[in-house]
Chain A
Amino acid sequence: MRKIRVFFTKLGRAKYISHLDSNRCWQRSIKRSGLPVWYTEGFNPHMYLTFPLPLSLGYESKYECVDMKLMEDLSDAEVVQRLNDALPLDIRVFACAEPVMDQKEIAWADYDIFLSCDNAAALSEELSAYFAQEQILVQKKTKKGSKEVDLKPHFSVLKQEVEEEGIALTLRCTTGIEVNINPSLLLENFSGIDKVETTSTCRTMVYTAKLEQFK
């Protein structure tokens, strides 16, 4: 039995598939692919899949992964091929490999975001001021209710460019099993002069605490 980590993109129409549905879609696709994956044992056997990072509904991603166990030895290339033959078109596998890092090591993720607005230049200045505050306190919903969190230590702005129809942003946010900060949380609390609308969000990379690419 071999542990593998499968890397994939979730773009276009697939961004409307919730995490739960996405999980089910993977189960069925793997079944279609005929890959000899390991099932849990017990009364009600089910396919053993783990997704380290749920992706929010409406987000695209160029760097998602799922771990599973193979009962037979197959080449990585064959796994990629068979999965792509079985998955819906908007979910594409681009790599498969032995896991290098523990899922717990995930610490950061980068997001490309586009904010649509009319007066982008003015708004971008307001946004900079918002980001520059000493503290950015927001209410974060948790399983037990809601608590106040300071977002300031949890993000950095890698890119902020004014374009014709809005602002293109790249944000790096704290990500992981313990603390997970959605860029939407940060942006929803910003109220600029004009109405802002987030038209797209795409996770582009996932890193460890030392900013190594998660593999």
Chain B
Amino acid sequence: MIPKQLEKILLDVQKPSQYIGGELNSVIKNREEVDIRLAFCFPDKYEVGMSHLGMKILYSLYNSRPNWWCERVFAPDADMEQKMRENNIALYGLESLDPITNFDFILFTLQYEMSYTAILNMLDLAGLPVRSKDRKGLWPIVAAGGPCACNPEPIADFIDLFFLGEGEEVNVEVTELYETAKKEGWSKEKFLLEASHIEGVYVPSLYEVSYNEDGTIKAYTPVEASVPATIQKRIIKDLDSVFYPESFVVPFTSIVHDRSQLEIQRGCLRGCRFCQAGFIYRPLRDKSHTILDCNAKALCQSTGYDEISLTSLSTSDYDQLGDLLDDMLPWTVEQKINMSLPSLRVDNFSEELMKKISKVRKSGLTFAAEAGTQRLRDVINKNVYEDEVMETCKTAFEGGYTSVKLYFMMGLPTETMEDIKGIADLAQKVVDLFYSLPNKPKGKGVQVSISCACFVPKPFTPFQFEPQDTMDMLHEKQKYLMSCVKSKKISVSYHDADTSYIEAVLARGDRRLADAIELCWQKGSKLDGWDEYFDPQRWYDSFAEAGLDGAFYANRLRSYEEVNPWDHLDYCVSKNFLIRENRIAKEENRTTPHCRQQCSGCGANKLVGGKCFA
């Protein structure tokens, strides 16, 4: 039954089907027969959150326990939020339509820093105090995981417990501990203390932070002897045996990634120095192609999707890609299922591979060159050469493609205007290449799109010490790039510098940012990933009111000795390794071979018992 209050407002909002559940494969259980209720919250809109693979995995995993019921929750759009608040409707789970206020767990996934205020807004919509210390009872336990949990300090005051690393095991262990806690009537404090003994669990309230006079951190000290001084992330050692969902919830309304997704590997062997994902998900682990083929068949069968994407951080680095495509092509072609391969690298995109993927419908080609000159590509350890970009584009054009998208970043360490000009030059060379080909696609012009992001220094990367370019510098570089582009065949889009700056503050921020985040939410920030809702001034005002200087976090060069807010979290890439890589990049301008070529000694091998590629 749909609650009457909800019925009353649903026809007054855009796309009501996103607020009512009932989708194919959503899991409905009997309230009376479950012991643990979990709300898996994605702090963004339905169309974004429903695209997220991690949520699909954990949703299915939790629900595989008969006495646990995990439901999906997303941030309502502004029109829905207003109606909910006017009618006193608390944030509810899409499966039961029950308010999540008294659920056992409220879980957030931290995919990007700009979603932090959405977390506060969702807690508030659920009728809960946003600060952890103001939620006294055992339930709900508000927990969070995902990539941003590698520096969760800015939101440490709002969240009771963080999961570090991959969740398939640790989330289950914590929920099992909670079952005991609930049965035995533990206090929240006792539960959190016990949970902190589980590997991969970080309970921020169990650590005290002291600061130096210059505002940097002096130390993180556990409040009790049994609390670990450093917390090591969790990984799944063997992807072949780990749980993978056989079905996805299939939405009615269209979402960003409306397709089946097959996770072919975790981790990345490349070590691009700007890329957080390339370090925090180490070590690289492959899943075998035969198991993937079975997973893929089950997913397509259970969802009815006509598209499946092979996801990973670097798809063409997957050793068994050829085998996997050979397994999958016959049945996907027969069933008219389109296969897509995002995250291809230009240095190993072969003609053979392209022929295989072009048997299904053509979609756009995107390559990440990241920087405009070889010098800078070496600094960031991209290990991609211009002739490889050209060779790949040639293959693509000869194969019938007429548009290519190239990804770049600006504001990278050591960058000069020469490097910015290099972006435009590279795009121009691609245009010229197209017209020089005798066998280019007929009757069509070429379109080269440059997409340029602003570099944001992130924790656990060799660039974690680096200052971000100031906004003035970024704006100047953007202007200069535009002036360098001469051809109408080249289009340029770039990221908003304000967003990147705030992201940089939050990414390497500490606990003192909590006040600013709360203030910003109170000023109306709630869906800051969306241009129409984002107002940078709110953030600047909030930093000022909280007595904080954003530049301290974003634009300051940090010494190797400084204690970072994430130094007590162990993602198994050692600080010494990061320092070494930072030096090689800046002082020697040298690249580091990828993990299969030579071990660079990052430390992640200890997670798999000594050797990454056994």
Binding site for B on A (CB under 8 A): 12-14, 16-18, 21-22, 24-25, 27-32, 34, 39, 44-45, 57-58, 86-90, 197, 199
- Choose from B22, B304, B306 the contact partner of A13 (Cβ within 8 Å): B22
Smallest CB gap from A45: residue in B:
B336
Chain A CB within 8 A of B385 CB: no
Please tell me if the beta carbons of A16 and B16 are within 8 angstroms of each other in the complex: yes
Binding site for A on B (CB under 8 A): 2, 7-8, 10-11, 15-17, 19-24, 28, 250, 252-254, 301-306, 335-336, 361
Please tell me if the beta carbons of B22 and A90 are within 8 angstroms of each other in the complex: yes
B-side contacts of A21, CB under 8 Å: 17, 252-254
A-side contacts of B21, CB under 8 Å: 13
A-B contacts, 24 of them at CB < 8 A, read A12-B22, A13-B20, A13-B22, A16-B16, A16-B20, A17-B17, A18-B17, A21-B253, A24-B254, A25-B250, A25-B252, A28-B24, A28-B306, A29-B24, A30-B304, A31-B306, A32-B301, A32-B304, A44-B361, A58-B16, A87-B24, A88-B23, A89-B22, A199-B7
Take A25-B24, A57-B16 as given contacts and tell me if A32 and B303 are in contact as well, using a CB distance cutoff of 8 Å.
yes
Cβ distance B213 to chain A, nearest Cβ, rounded Å: 58
Tell me, in angstroms, the Cα distance from A13 to B97 when the chains sit together.
Answer: 11
Please tell me if the beta carbons of A28 and B17 are within 8 angstroms of each other in the complex: no
Please tell me if the beta carbons of A14 and B22 are within 8 angstroms of each other in the complex: yes
Tell me, in angstroms, the Cα distance from A12 to B22 when the chains sit together.
Answer: 9
Smallest CB gap from A13: residue in B:
B22
Tell me, in angstroms, the Cα distance from A185 to B446 when the chains sit together.
Answer: 50
Tell me, in angstroms, the Cα distance from A31 to B336 when the chains sit together.
Answer: 10
Tell me, in angstroms, the Cα distance from A86 to B303 when the chains sit together.
Answer: 9
- Choose from A16, A34, A89 the contact partner of B17 (Cβ within 8 Å): A16
A-side contacts of B19, CB under 8 Å: 16
- Choose from A17, A39, A89, A199 the contact partner of B252 (Cβ within 8 Å): A17
B-side contacts of A29, CB under 8 Å: 24, 304
Tell me, in angstroms, the Cα distance from A82 to B430 when the chains sit together.
Answer: 51
B-side contacts of A45, CB under 8 Å: 336
Please tell me if the beta carbons of B336 and A39 are within 8 angstroms of each other in the complex: yes
Given contacts A28-B306, A30-B304, A89-B22, 19 further A-B contacts (CB under 8 A): A12-B22, A13-B2, A13-B22, A16-B10, A16-B16, A17-B252, A18-B15, A21-B252, A24-B252, A25-B24, A31-B304, A31-B306, A31-B335, A45-B336, A57-B16, A58-B10, A58-B11, A86-B304, A88-B24
Smallest CB gap from B2: residue in A:
A13
Number of residue pairs A-B, CB distance < 8 angstroms: 68
Please tell me if the beta carbons of A28 and B250 are within 8 angstroms of each other in the complex: yes
- Choose from B24, B252, B335 the contact partner of A22 (Cβ within 8 Å): B252
A-side contacts of B254, CB under 8 Å: 21, 24
A-side contacts of B15, CB under 8 Å: 18
- Choose from A12, A17, A22, A27 the contact partner of B304 (Cβ within 8 Å): A27
Please tell me if the beta carbons of A28 and B304 are within 8 angstroms of each other in the complex: yes
Cβ distance B296 to chain A, nearest Cβ, rounded Å: 14
Smallest CB gap from A22: residue in B:
B252
Tell me, in angstroms, the Cα distance from A13 to B3 when the chains sit together.
Answer: 11
A-side contacts of B361, CB under 8 Å: 44
Interface core residue of B252, B254, B303 (most chain A CB under 10 Å): B252
Cβ distance A89 to chain B, nearest Cβ, rounded Å: 7
A-side contacts of B20, CB under 8 Å: 13, 16
Smallest CB gap from A86: residue in B:
B304
Tell me, in angstroms, the Cα distance from A57 to B252 when the chains sit together.
Answer: 13
Cβ distance B304 to chain A, nearest Cβ, rounded Å: 3
A-side contacts of B305, CB under 8 Å: 28, 31
Tell me, in angstroms, the Cα distance from A139 to B15 when the chains sit together.
Answer: 25
B-side contacts of A58, CB under 8 Å: 10-11, 16
Smallest CB gap from A14: residue in B:
B22
B-side contacts of A13, CB under 8 Å: 2, 20-22
A-side contacts of B11, CB under 8 Å: 16, 57-58
Smallest CB gap from B16: residue in A:
A16
Tell me, in angstroms, the Cα distance from A17 to B20 when the chains sit together.
Answer: 9
Tell me, in angstroms, the Cα distance from A4 to B248 when the chains sit together.
Answer: 29
Tell me, in angstroms, the Cα distance from A32 to B17 when the chains sit together.
Answer: 21
Cβ distance B335 to chain A, nearest Cβ, rounded Å: 8
B-side contacts of A89, CB under 8 Å: 22, 28
A-side contacts of B10, CB under 8 Å: 16, 58
Smallest CB gap from A56: residue in B:
B11
Smallest CB gap from B247: residue in A:
A32
Interface core residue of B2, B15, B22 (most chain A CB under 10 Å): B22
Smallest CB gap from B21: residue in A:
A13
Cβ distance B316 to chain A, nearest Cβ, rounded Å: 27
B-side contacts of A44, CB under 8 Å: 361
Tell me, in angstroms, the Cα distance from A117 to B306 when the chains sit together.
Answer: 47
B-side contacts of A14, CB under 8 Å: 22
The 10 closest A-B pairs by CB, nearest first: A28-B304, A13-B22, A31-B304, A32-B304, A16-B16, A21-B252, A58-B11, A17-B252, A16-B17, A88-B24
A-side contacts of B336, CB under 8 Å: 39, 45
